Amino acid sequence: MTRNVTWDRGVSLPDHNLWLDPQTARQLAVVTHAHADHARRHKVALLTEHTLALSTPNRRPKEALVAGYGEPVDIGTGTVTLLPAGHMLGSAQVLFEDGARLLYTGDLKLRCGHPLDLPKADVLIIESTYGRPHFNFPDRSSVIEELAMWCHRSLANQVTPVLLCHAIGKAQEVMLALAEYRLKFALEHRCVPAARAYESAGEVLPDWIELKPGEDYSNRVVVAPPAGKDEVRKLHRYSCALVSGWAQDRTFRRIFGADLAFALSDHCDFPELLEVVDRVQPEQVYTVHGFTEDLARHLRKRGVRAWALSQTEQLTLLLD
């Protein structure tokens, strides 16, 4: 049996009228997590309960097919199974089976505190956000400790530390990572709905309140998205740190007006992307999102059949 895999503003399985994280609203799609570059208001979407809860109202599907991890869902003549991705609350990999096995990673993080299931597959479609060799992240626990110590030093000097990170998922994951350091937080308003969703899911976040302009936050760490820092600028004395894998690229620190940066990411770094390919052992790899050409080229040098899917949208992938 064969089936086609194509790219047209998202990964498409046209024989099944199914899309994986498409960038425009579709009839039927799998949404791997709640970030805006992956979630759209589809007519019908398969996703996890937590992804639905974290999605903003304008990005929730009109009809949600909610599935738990490891729970097969029949779609046409194929079967879709969502697996943990470690990226954020509710994030999922997608295993599609129809005579062959296709694994779509979505956004993936191996350093998530527990082993991730990476099933063998004939075809791997892998995100390549950090698909260049220089993205080799330092030890996660060491970065978290350095970040915590910087926050404590700033507070001791009566300077409010501001952590710049994505409002949905990343902000809450950073708070959880810092929980053991007895820090208190103030969240810019865009971070608040996701914090409440995390708590509704049973996650115990450290002490936090919503940031209110004009109030004293000399004893709290402020968490805010990198873009649109109007509320942050109203703080008396503050220093901003970008918390992202992009910390290894100095350009991004300047773009977001950060004083320093910490390489703490919710994605795989380059060696981990290679590890994913080694563990899945696919016959064919397609790269999507990020440095797709770079990662595909590197994999080909390692003897792996690999191509950037967005560059081959006129081709079809045959799975026998």
* Residues in contact with 241: Cβ distance below 8 Å, sequence separation at least 6, in sequence order: 147, 150, 161, 162, 163, 164, 258, 259, 260, 261, 262
Residues of each domain in the chain carrying CATH 3.60.15.10: 6-134+267-311
Q: What's the confidence (pLDDT) of residue 36?
A: 77
Q: Is residue 275 helix, strand or coil? A: helix
Residues of each domain in the chain carrying CATH 3.40.50: 140-262
Dist. CA 8–CA 162, nearest whole Å: 39
Q: Which amino acid is at 271?
A: P
Specify the DSSP element, H or E, that contains 297.
helix 292-301
Segment 99-127 shows an average pLDDT of 93
Segment 173-183 shows an average pLDDT of 96
CB 35 within 8 A of CB 168: yes
Residue 37: count other Cβ atoms within 10 Å of its Cβ.
10
Sheet holding 185-187, edge to edge: 208-210, 185-187, 221-224, 160-164, 238-243, 260-262
Q: What's the confidence (pLDDT) of residue 112?
A: 81
Q: What is the token pair recorded at 156?
A: 């001791």
Q: What is the token pair recorded at 118?
A: 């990476």
DSSP state of 77: T
CB 30 within 8 A of CB 94: yes
The CATH fold assigned to 6-134+267-311 is Metallo-beta-lactamase; Chain A (3.60.15)
To the question of domain 140-262 being in CATH 3.40.50, the answer is yes
31-75 pLDDT, tens digit per residue, is 998 887 777 888 888 999 999 999 988 888 888 899 999 999 999
Q: Is residue 288 helix, strand or coil? A: strand
C-alpha 197 chain-centroid distance:
17
Q: What's the confidence (pLDDT) of residue 311?
A: 60
Dist. CA 1–CA 320, nearest whole Å: 6
Dist. CA 301–CA 191, nearest whole Å: 42
Specify the DSSP element, H or E, that contains 300.
helix 292-301
DSSP state of 81: E
Evaluate the CA torsion angle 287, 49, 166, 272 in order and state its sign: negative
Please report the beta strands in the chain, taking only residues with DSSP state E, as ranges in sequence order: 6-7, 11-13, 18-20, 28-30, 44-47, 63-66, 73-75, 78-84, 92-97, 101-104, 123-128, 160-164, 185-187, 208-210, 221-224, 238-243, 260-262, 284-290, 306-308
76-93 pLDDT, tens digit per residue, is 889 999 999 999 999 999
Kindly report the CA angle at 197 between 37 and 34, in degrees rounded to 5? 15
185-195 pLDDT, tens digit per residue, is 999 999 999 99
Q: What is the token pair recorded at 124?
A: 């791997």
Q: What's the confidence (pLDDT) of residue 317?
A: 36
Dist. CA 279–CA 124, nearest whole Å: 11
Q: Which residue has the higher pLDDT, 313 or 95?
A: 95
257-299 pLDDT, tens digit per residue, is 889 999 999 999 999 999 999 999 999 999 999 999 999 999 9
- pTM equals 0.92
3-state SS, 120-156, equals CCCEEEEEECCCCCCCCCCCHHHHHHHHHHHHHHHHH
Instruction: Using a pLDDT cut of 70, give the percent of the chain over it.
Output: 96
Given pLDDT bands bounded at 50, 70 and 90, which one contains residue 10? confident
Q: What's the confidence (pLDDT) of residue 314?
A: 34
